[in-house]
Amino acid sequence: MGVVNVTPDSFSDGGRFTDHRAAIEHGLALVAEGASWVDVGGESTRPGATPVDEAEERRRVLPVVSALAAEGVSVSIDTRKPVVARAAVEAGATLLNDVGAGLGAVAAELGVAWAAMHAQGEPATMQDAPHYDDVVAEVHEELVAKATSALAAGVPEVWIDPGIGFGKTHEHNLSLLAHLDGLVATGLPVMVGTSRKGFLGALLGRSDGTSDPAPAGDRIEGSLATAAWAVASGVRMVRVHDVAATVAAVQLVGGLEFEVAIA
Ligand code: HH2
């Protein structure tokens, strides 16, 4: 899944695709690079982000969703708002990518796929003091409960996502990544987004060897390594900014698995 943020303030590509034409061209380029889905978002959910009102979010995303859908692209809408979700589906989106995991009933009503992502708290404050007794068990239980009730309510396809960086310390993120196989074992399709995220910058440092955290544009090694790890753990979709590099890395891992299988 390739990311198109039609926002001025997203943490890694904010301001690059606020122009609708640039956003549409970028979405098409991501498909040409190998993305199966293009995820269009009009509200940054980075830590500390300011919420956007419904009208502005709709203005940002709808022309992009309808233009990409008209080109035959599978479009997902990254929103927490029912009104935006409904309008985006009308414009051609077929997956609700829901970082608040609160739109299950809307997905059932609209008959579209739903990606339920785990988050603790709201973006403005979620990184202040995230706490879990057992992060892996708690995230797992919450996602399975939400997915089970959404499927029972008639949502045709439910994805689960542990929500890397959403109310999680670096240790929480690493524990969740280490235990992706547990989510995969539920039988539900799992997706994950680590691309360019802050914990990678903090863990890897800058490529120039200084001890500062790497900025968002300098986290490609961590993004690719975690995407490959996720796919090797059985995750079915990775949400990324760098599609061409991720496709190459993931195909390589898939190729290695194939070699092992025939050995
Ligand atoms: N992460 C972000 C946004 N949407 N959706 C899913 N399913 N999983 C994720 O991990 C995820 C997500 C945050 O990344 P980004 O869109 O690049 O930044 P911002 O929220 O600043 O727009």
The pLDDT tens digits of the residues spanning 67-76 come to: 999 999 999 9
Q: Given this model, what pLDDT does residue 218 score?
A: 82
- Catalytic, out of 86, 146, 197, 219: 197
Q: Out of 16, 39, 99, give the residue to mutate to test ligand 1, the one with the largest number of ligand atoms within 8 Å of its CB.
A: 99
Q: What pLDDT does residue 134 have?
A: 97
Q: Taking a C-beta distance cutoff of 8 angstroms, is the pair 198, 11 a contact? A: yes
From CA 189, how far away is CA 67, in angstroms rounded? Answer: 28
What pLDDT sits at residue 125? Answer: 82
Distance 64 CA to ligand 1 centre (A): 17
Structure confidence at residue 261 (pLDDT): 62
Q: Could you count the other beta carbons within 10 Å of the beta carbon of residue 128?
A: 10
- pLDDT at res. 128: 86
- Residue 238's pLDDT is 97
Closest Cα to atom 21, ligand 1: which residue? 10
pLDDT of residue 240: 98
Q: In terms of Cα–Cα distance, which of 181, 183, 164 is closest to 172?
A: 164
Distance CA 103, CA 97 (A): 9
Residue ranges, the chain, pLDDT below 70: 206-211, 255-263
Residue 259 Cα to ligand 1 midpoint, Å, equals 33
- How many other β-carbons are positioned within 10 Å of the β-carbon of residue 26? 21
Q: Which amino acid is at 137?
A: A
Residue 12 backbone phi and psi in degrees, to 5? -115, -30
Q: What is the pLDDT of residue 146?
A: 98
Q: Which two tokens stand for residue 29?
A: 């380029």
- E-strand stretches of the chain: 2-5, 38-41, 75-78, 95-98, 113-117, 158-161, 191-192, 237-238
What is the pTM for the complete model shown? 0.94
H or E stretch covering 140: helix 135-152
